[in-house]
Amino acid sequence: MIFESEVRAMETLHNIPPENWTSIEYKSIENTALFIWLLIFAGIAFIIFRAVRKSGPSVSFKMFDPSEMVHGVFGSKLSVLEPGHKKLNIKFKDVAGLHEAKTEIREFVDYLKNPQKYTKLGAKLPKGALLTGPPGCGKTLLARALAAESTVPFISINGTEFVEMIGGLGASRMRKLFEMARSKSPCIVYIDEIDAIGRKRSNKDSLMDGGHSEFEQTLNQLLVEMDGVDSAKGIIMIASTNRPDVLDKALLRPGRFDRHISVDLPTILEREELFKLYLKKIKIHRLTDDLSKRLAQLTPKFSGADIANVVNEGAMIAANHKKKFVYREDLHAALEKVLAGPEKRSRVLQDEERHIVAYHEAGHCLVGWYLKHTDALLKKFSVFWCWDLVPSLALPLYTIM
């Protein structure tokens, strides 16, 4: 060993006795743990580098900006659909029901295509519309149909994508959204579930975090960006929520979301249209108007998504029984499954108990039949189901059908 030889030479040169020489020991140091940690850090660095490169122009290296770097790694799920995209192949005529909502939102098509018709008279074009209504009623579908009819890009994002634990990230994403909108104008910007970022601000929240919470920063940035949007340049804001009661008043005032369009549950006539639309998409055995009408009667308070689910469930039941077509009884079985859950075949009733239940439920039917102001009885199930003992289906009399 060179090191040991040099040490011994120095000791001999200075007449140091061999018994006083420096003891030298050789040990093998295990570097496995250190090597593993180095690999882990190298892997993390590689993942961050790839994510930043994929983010493209959203990250600038002229000056290191931590928020921009974080945005590149944890970027929001922003969707940009150009005209002609397969998800924008739906027009208003393809949307069943929602006649009043379609009439209101159709006006924005003319605003986008002929803005001069309004601006030359001194009119200020509305900046956007808020679609309100229960889930599954077609709010997103209406927004896409508007973009398809207007033949403009459709920029969409979910409200939950803005707010994160990292401070300032929500406001940064909001700025990126409107930068994209300005570069794509004329276009439609759609924010789904806007209640995630547009809830009412309270003094309690401001006192707890000094008035600078991530949620409040994101909402303030949205308000600032909407005030800076020029509707004459063709940027239309569309947002949707099923909780309009929790939205901040500043978001709802004129000059921001000018139009409030209600997208309610379909009426009985609209449900019939929806069943006709969805039944055409499956291999139904002898499709008749009578079938759609009867199914519409049996589905009060069903949304468009619920109706699509019933039709799909009917096709699944027919496929499970190896049928070549979907029959009426399959759709009725699907409706029962959606309403009450799967049948509980494992629960066996004694004959006496079955008779008692039958008499009891027959009494419900008789009372409902003879009383003047009760809901009309449509169907009574006589088997046990997952969610109820013997569920019944009644037609509401005094609600909007």
Just list the catalytic residues: 361
Kindly give, in sequence order, each residue whose CB lies less than 8 Å from that of residue 220, ignoring residues fewer than 6 positions away: 171
Helix axes 328-340, 289-297, angle to 10 degrees: 20
Rounded distance between C-alpha atoms, residue 273 and residue 243, angstroms: 27
Element housing 236 (H / E): strand 235-241
Q: How far apart are the first and last CA of the chain?
A: 96
The CA-atom distances, in angstroms, between 42 and each of 35, 39, 49, 66, 227 are 10, 5, 10, 20, 45
Instruction: Answer positive or negative: Cα dihedral of 83, 263, 222, 52.
Output: negative
Supply the DSSP symbol for 29. Answer: P
Rounded distance between C-alpha atoms, residue 106 and residue 150, angstroms: 9
Rounded distance between C-alpha atoms, residue 396 and residue 236, angstroms: 39
HSE toward the beta carbon, residue 84, CA cutoff 13 A: 0
CB 233 within 8 A of CB 269: no
Residue located via tokens 């939102």? 105
Q: Which two tokens stand for residue 253?
A: 């005032």
Q: Which two tokens stand for residue 188?
A: 């439609």
CB 282 within 8 A of CB 308: no
Helix axes 268-279, 289-297, angle to 10 degrees: 130
Rounded distance between C-alpha atoms, residue 86 and residue 95, angstroms: 16
Q: What is the DSSP string of 259-299?
A: EEEE-----HHHHHHHHHHHHTTS-BSS--HHHHHHHHHT-
Q: Are strands 235-241 and 187-192 parallel, antiparallel or unpaired?
A: parallel
